[in-house]
Amino acid sequence: MLELLRKIVQEVSTAPDVDAVLGLIVRRIQRGMKTEVCSVFLLDAPSQRFVLRASQGLNRKAVGRVSLSSSEGIVGMVAKRAEPINLEDAETHPAFYLLKDTGEERFHAFLGVPIIHQKQVLGVLVVQQQNCRRYDEAEEAFLVTISAQLAGVIAHAQVTGAISKIAWKHQKSIDHRFEGIPGAPGVAIGRVVVVAPLADIDAVPEKATDDIAQEIARFETALERVRADIRKVSARLAKRLRHDEQALFEVYLRMLDDNALAGEVVAQIKQGNWAQGALSAVITSNARQFARMDDPYLRERATDVRDLGRRVLAYLQEESGSKRIELPENGILVADELSPAVLGEVSAEKLAGLVSVLGSGNSHAAILARSMGIPTVMGMVDLPYRQLDGREVILDGYSGRLYVDPSEELIQAYREVLREQEEVAAELATLNDLPAKTIDGSRMPLWVNTGLIADVSRSLERGAEGIGLYRTEIPFMVRDFFPSEYEQMQIYRRQLEAFAPLPVTMRTLDIGGDKALPYFPIKEENPFLGWRGIRVTLDHPEIFLVQIRAMLRANEGLGNLRIMLPMITSVNEVDEANNLLDRALIELQEEGYVVARPSVGVMIEVPAAVYQLRRFAKRVDFISVGSNDLTQYLLAVDRNNPRVAGLYVPYHPAVLKVLEDIAREARKDKLQVSICGEMAADPGGALLLMAMGYDALSMNATNLPRVKSTIRSVSMVQAKVLLDKVMRMDDADKIQALMTETMKSLGLSQLSSPVLPE
Ligand code: PEP
Ligand code: MG
């Protein structure tokens, strides 16, 4: 059974469209379970009826024609109850409802299981048999298992199916809407550029070509280069391999022959597909055919076909220079996995919006997008992004939606939102030189989080009073190797000089998790619980020392540097870091530099750190709460995983409690406490943190004016009353609702999200 399950899931996940998916499912299950009928009913959203979408065993003509509501028949009952129903003789059941023209009157035994994806019943999977018998427990368990596994594939095929029916020649049509997770607020209207990962056959964007001859020539050149590579390897190994092993190279060369794969690719190009797309289609379909074969030797050939495809693709991509990302005006960049490094490669002037299939609202790519002020949607797991290159879209970063080929009416409605956005921004700009002060006179220093070069000027323009977090890993990411001490010193000096005498908090290298350096790969099963932040740098004192030395040298003659340590879990990590800092100081002084010991602080982002504040107080000068990580570790929710994005809630009572406790404990030791997680950038969150007693809030420059405007609209007394109310509530959704209501009553709701078109 397990083998059958594996095979079905594998085949189904590579089927080209939803009908093929359903057809495969019913055929394989009917045969695998040795039953007479297998059918799938899927919910048709507009009519709210379960339509027979595929069947093996029932009358084919009934497919697509017969349907049931959720109050009709046993199928309706399975859907309504969202649990399996197993009957020896369905006809005798009170809910039985004969579906005319299907021929089902001949079948008595019935087993139906719901197909559920993300709590929604998508449909019902049914098996039937003529003789009266109850399907046994193992059969029921098998059907439940397969249904659970296929639900995601069916949901994906349904969503992507709608769009693939539109031809390449992009006709205007209804607004195809895709849902994701809000990454950075704002709206963008523009054209898509897909950034495909290199040499990935499954991620090639679909494009038409007008220059068939050139595409064929490109393909032939790439092919010739792969043939030459194979011949070279074959010649090099000639003496070491047996004759039959050597023959394998001949097989590869034959596979690339004009009569084989190459011929198929050229035929596809002639039909108007570009070379990379034609190659991807031919390789995928051939590999799929091999993978289906029963003979293990032939099945293995699927791997060879894909490997050859990857090699040809790599040369094709190299030739078209796809490492450079070229954007049109108002370009909307769509990537399988948006990384901070990709953001460093694009020109920000033309970039209007960003979409990532993977990742979530607190992934570092989203954090950087917010800081750049680029509307972004993350976690669009059902987006058929390969088909979107060149298409017109509306990106709504407030609701996390993307509309493909939008109608003129929708474009106009969103243009109106864009206009309102501009008005709000212009109004906020008038606050740039004013302090963040409540109406009863409490001052709240607003700092910024930086990392990108553009952050500094934007922050100063908006009246930032210091840098609460400089993410030093960002400049490390856009390089090919570790920057030297001198290079680092220059980069850090720019930040310190721009803000002097205001404080600049530099965090030591915080790599790992979702922040990878291309030249220092860390491969782990569980990266957020792995080798991250201070754990990496203490294991590599040579990297740590160079960085500290660069920071200290950059601070010469300025004196506004503060050093902050990320991912601290235990006091010994602080002691070790302090020792290395002292060593760097002595060495530099011996070398003649005039360097002084800066303030040192730790980030409170691991729950264990919360319970050691008094011990840290003896060792450092300040603490800063990293609420992004603290939330993920406290709630056990991966900040990068879109599947659990709904569980990542900053207004969770436990998160609020911990934040309040930290502020109170820090006060006891007169330890300065700030916060640099994204919660400080949320106008409502900022009010609560101010009332808790945080000494400074650090956020992205984009949101700083919004937070300032919010603080200037309330009194500290009001903020404390609100906090008191919130702390007595026990449900995150209710807290969120109260915060939304409060912002509305303060006349500030447009700061969070404008009214959006439906
Ligand atoms: C945090 O964890 O809250 C934080 C500020 O650091 P980062 O988002 O870079 O992990
Ligand atoms: Mg962190």
- Domain closes at, from 295, 319, 343: 319
Residue 165 confidence (pLDDT): 44
Decide: 58 and 104 in contact? Cβ < 8 Å. yes
Tell me: do 19 and 146 sit in the same domain.
yes
**621 is a domain residue:** yes
Rounded to the nearest angstrom, the distance between the alpha carbon of 252 and the centre of ligand 1 is 49
Rounded to the nearest angstrom, the distance between the alpha carbon of 187 and the centre of ligand 1 is 25
The ligand 1 atom nearest the CA atom of 449: 5
Cα 614 to Cα 59: distance, rounded to the nearest angstrom: 74
Contact 676 CB / ligand 1 (< 6 Å) = yes
Residue 239 confidence (pLDDT): 74
Residue range 317-332: average pLDDT? 78
223: containing domain: 201-319
CA distances from 494 to 488, 554, 561, 717, 754 (A): 10, 8, 12, 40, 36
**Ligand 1 pocket test, candidate residues 507, 628, 635, most atoms within 8 A of CB:** 628
Contact 471 CB / ligand 1 (< 6 Å) = yes
| 350 has a pLDDT exceeding 60 | yes
Tell me: do 129 and 212 sit in the same domain.
no
CA distances from 421 to 111, 418, 587 (A): 54, 5, 52
Rounded to the nearest angstrom, the distance between the alpha carbon of 510 and the centre of ligand 1 is 9
Tell me: do 530 and 647 sit in the same domain.
yes
Residue range 111-124: average pLDDT? 94
Decide: 624 and 662 in contact? Cβ < 8 Å. no
Residue 240 confidence (pLDDT): 75
What contacts 528, CB < 8 A, 6 or more positions away?
513, 514, 629, 632, 638, 639, 640
Rounded to the nearest angstrom, the distance between the alpha carbon of 585 and the centre of ligand 1 is 27
Residue range 378-388: average pLDDT? 91
Radius of gyration for the alpha carbons in the chain, expressed in angstroms and rounded? 30
Q: Which ligand is nearest to the CA of 627?
A: 1
| 529 has a pLDDT exceeding 70 | yes
Query: Model confidence at 449, in pLDDT bands (50, 70, 90)?
Result: very high
**Ligand 1 pocket test, candidate residues 339, 447, 471, most atoms within 8 A of CB:** 471
Cα 560 to Cα 577: distance, rounded to the nearest angstrom: 20
Rounded to the nearest angstrom, the distance between the alpha carbon of 332 and the centre of ligand 1 is 26
**Ligand 1 pocket test, candidate residues 448, 470, 505, 510, most atoms within 8 A of CB:** 510
Rounded to the nearest angstrom, the distance between the alpha carbon of 379 and the centre of ligand 1 is 19
Contact 627 CB / ligand 1 (< 6 Å) = yes
Q: Which ligand is nearest to the CA of 675?
A: 1
Query: Model confidence at 171, in pLDDT bands (50, 70, 90)?
Result: very low
**Ligand 1 pocket test, candidate residues 534, 603, 629, most atoms within 8 A of CB:** 629
Contact 624 CB / ligand 1 (< 6 Å) = no
The ligand 1 atom nearest the CA atom of 626: 3
- pTM of this structure: 0.85
What contacts 7, CB < 8 A, 6 or more positions away?
28
**Nearest-CA residue for atom 3 of ligand 1:** 626
Rounded to the nearest angstrom, the distance between the alpha carbon of 632 and the centre of ligand 1 is 10
Tell me: do 146 and 241 sit in the same domain.
no
| 469 has a pLDDT exceeding 60 | yes
Tell me: do 117 and 215 sit in the same domain.
no
Contact 605 CB / ligand 1 (< 6 Å) = yes
Contact 129 CB / ligand 1 (< 6 Å) = no
Query: Model confidence at 620, in pLDDT bands (50, 70, 90)?
Result: very high
**Closest by alpha carbon to 23, among 10, 11, 34?**
11
Quickly count: other Cβ atoms within 10 Å of residue 127's Cβ.
27
The ligand 1 atom nearest the CA atom of 469: 5
| 323 has a pLDDT exceeding 60 | no
Decide: 448 and 464 in contact? Cβ < 8 Å. yes
Tell me: do 156 and 207 sit in the same domain.
no
Decide: 695 and 688 in contact? Cβ < 8 Å. no
Contact 629 CB / ligand 1 (< 6 Å) = yes
**Lowest mean pLDDT: which of 28-32, 556-560, 570-574, 712-716?**
28-32
Residue 166 confidence (pLDDT): 40
Residue 174 confidence (pLDDT): 60
Rounded to the nearest angstrom, the distance between the alpha carbon of 470 and the centre of ligand 2 is 12
Q: Which ligand is nearest to the CA of 624?
A: 1
Tell me: do 267 and 127 sit in the same domain.
no
Q: Beta strands of 605-690 (E only): which ranges?
A: 622-625, 672-675
Rounded to the nearest angstrom, the distance between the alpha carbon of 469 and the centre of ligand 1 is 9
Q: What is the DSSP letter of 346?
A: S
Q: Beta strands of 45-180 (E only): which ranges?
A: 49-56, 67-68, 85-87, 109-117, 120-129, 176-179
Decide: 635 and 656 in contact? Cβ < 8 Å. no
**CATH number of the CATH domain containing 495:** 3.20.20.60
Residue range 635-653: average pLDDT? 96
Contact 533 CB / ligand 1 (< 6 Å) = no
More confident residue, 318 or 464: 464
**333 is a domain residue:** no
**Closest by alpha carbon to 696, among 650, 475, 704?**
704
Going 249 to 250 to 251 to 253, the CA torsion angle's sign is positive
Query: Model confidence at 163, in pLDDT bands (50, 70, 90)?
Result: low
What contacts 536, CB < 8 A, 6 or more positions away?
509, 511, 512, 522, 543
39 sits in which H/E element: strand 37-44
Query: Model confidence at 173, in pLDDT bands (50, 70, 90)?
Result: low
Residue range 442-452: average pLDDT? 96
Rounded to the nearest angstrom, the distance between the alpha carbon of 408 and the centre of ligand 2 is 42
**Lowest mean pLDDT: which of 413-417, 449-453, 698-702?**
449-453
Q: Which ligand is nearest to the CA of 568?
A: 2
Tell me: do 632 and 516 sit in the same domain.
yes
Residue 169 confidence (pLDDT): 41
* pLDDT, tens digit, 9 for 90 and up, residues 424-437: 999 999 999 999 99
Residue 542 confidence (pLDDT): 96
Q: What are phi and psi of 740, to 5 degrees?
A: -60, -45
Contact 512 CB / ligand 1 (< 6 Å) = no
Give the range with max mean pLDDT: 152-156, 226-230, 364-368, 651-655. 651-655
Contact 677 CB / ligand 1 (< 6 Å) = yes
- Domain closes at, from 277, 294, 319: 319
Domain count of the fold of the chain: 3
**Nearest-CA residue for atom 1 of ligand 1:** 626
**CATH number of the CATH domain containing 102:** 3.30.450.40
Pairing of strands 67-68, 37-44: unpaired
Report percent pLDDT > 90 for the chain.
Answer: 73
| 530 has a pLDDT exceeding 90 | yes
Tell me: do 728 and 596 sit in the same domain.
yes
Tell me: do 601 and 476 sit in the same domain.
yes
**366 is a domain residue:** no
Residue range 103-129: average pLDDT? 94
Tell me: do 141 and 253 sit in the same domain.
no
Residue 161 confidence (pLDDT): 66
Tokens 């011990």 identify what position?
A: 615
**528 is a domain residue:** yes
Residue range 50-78: average pLDDT? 94
More confident residue, 128 or 478: 128
DSSP bridge partners of 34: none
**CATH number of the CATH domain containing 304:** 1.10.274.10
Q: Which ligand is nearest to the CA of 515?
A: 1
Rounded to the nearest angstrom, the distance between the alpha carbon of 527 and the centre of ligand 2 is 13
Contact 514 CB / ligand 1 (< 6 Å) = no
Decide: 102 and 59 in contact? Cβ < 8 Å. yes
**Ligand 1 pocket test, candidate residues 371, 565, 605, most atoms within 8 A of CB:** 605
For the chain, helix, strand, coil in percent to 5 are 50, 15, 35
- Domain closes at, from 268, 293, 319: 319
| 631 has a pLDDT exceeding 80 | yes
Q: Which ligand is nearest to the CA of 699?
A: 1
Give the range with max mean pLDDT: 195-209, 286-300, 695-709. 695-709
Residue 162 confidence (pLDDT): 55
Cα 423 to Cα 27: distance, rounded to the nearest angstrom: 58
Query: Model confidence at 45, in pLDDT bands (50, 70, 90)?
Result: confident
**170 is a domain residue:** no
**377 is a domain residue:** no
**Lowest mean pLDDT: which of 112-121, 193-202, 434-443, 726-735?**
193-202
Q: Show the CA angle centred on residue 225, arms to residues 224 and 231, nearest 5°.
A: 90
Decide: 562 and 507 in contact? Cβ < 8 Å. no
Query: Model confidence at 365, in pLDDT bands (50, 70, 90)?
Result: very high
Residue 348 confidence (pLDDT): 77
**335 is a domain residue:** no
Residue range 244-260: average pLDDT? 80
Decide: 511 and 536 in contact? Cβ < 8 Å. yes
Cα 225 to Cα 320: distance, rounded to the nearest angstrom: 15
More confident residue, 338 or 626: 626
Tell me the DSSP string of 689-748: HHHHT-SEEEE-TTTHHHHHHHHHTS-HHHHHHHHHHHHT---HHHHHHHHHHHHHHTT-
The ligand 1 atom nearest the CA atom of 677: 3
**575 is a domain residue:** yes
Chain mean pLDDT for the chain = 91
**Nearest-CA residue for atom 6 of ligand 1:** 626
For residue 207, give both structure tokens: 């494009």
Query: Model confidence at 243, in pLDDT bands (50, 70, 90)?
Result: confident
Cα 157 to Cα 174: distance, rounded to the nearest angstrom: 19
Tell me: do 159 and 251 sit in the same domain.
no
Contact 469 CB / ligand 1 (< 6 Å) = yes
Active site members: 364, 676
Contact 473 CB / ligand 1 (< 6 Å) = no
**Nearest-CA residue for atom 10 of ligand 1:** 629
| 160 has a pLDDT exceeding 80 | no
More confident residue, 1 or 64: 64
